[in-house]
Amino acid sequence: MSKVLLITGASAGIGAATAKLAAEAGYDLALNYRCDAQGAETVAKTAREFGARAELFQADVSVPEQIEAMFNAIDVSFGHVDALANNAGIVDQGAPVTEFTHARLKRMFDVNVIGAMLVAKEAVVRMQAQGSGAIVNVSSVAARTGSANEYVDYAASKAAIDTFTKGLAEEVAAQGIRVNSLRPGITDTEIHAKGGAPDRASQLAHKIPMQRPGAAEEIARAILFLLSDDASYITGSTLDVSGGR
């Protein structure tokens, strides 16, 4: 029986790249998306071409009831969840802290922190029942750098994810569940356009020791490693995949 991997935010970017590599590696896929149904279906089609079973589950992870409904649907469809790539996240327009609003901060933390924590909670409940599982929470190098004058709120949300990862990992390690955090550096994905700076990755390449942004597939490879048995003695760790930044 193939392992089932749930990927949140699977319709594009790192989530889509992770789905492709996971399908090649033999996982069946539960693919979550919020609004880009066409993108998610394209990802599922690619996965199926590798012989994977791939099912779509629409849910906004900022809404607890939708998270619960998604996991209930996964229970019916697959019956188990063996791995989680906790990838869904947002960024807002670049701005200094003095321009932040309560609405901006609430949306950021509802998605990037509370949503990610509740998704992990639901996955852990199922993994505890089966006595095994692996989770990768997708953080960001911004958790270390702070992203001054741009995305301090995003950076703070990802720092919270790193702390959550460490605490959860210690809670569930003895139950056969591994939890790690992966911090991508500047990666060439659509998220920059959503933050109002579509060329940001290439424009900041000079700040990266390797002198280039990462590709989504390079981040995905690291996620698959941390989920795999090759990482069987790794938990509570944070891996930077950042070109040396």
Query: With the CA atoms of 10, 85, 93 and 163 taken in that order, what torsion angle do they form, in degrees rounded to the nearest 10?
Result: 170
SS3 220: helix
* Residue position matching structure tokens 């933050």: 195
Tokens of 191: 């998220």
Q: Which amino acid is at 95?
A: A
Could you tell me whether strands 133-138 and 83-86 are parallel, antiparallel, or unpaired per DSSP bridges? Answer: parallel
Q: Are 157 and 106 in contact (CB under 8 A)?
A: no
SS3 90: coil
Cα–Cα distance, 145 to 156 (Å, whole number): 10
Cα–Cα distance, 116 to 137 (Å, whole number): 8
Cα–Cα distance, 239 to 2 (Å, whole number): 26
Q: Is the dihedral of CA 145, 20, 3, 228 positive or negative?
A: negative
Residues near 209 by beta carbon (within 8 Å), at least 6 away in sequence? 243, 244, 245
Catalytically active residues are 154
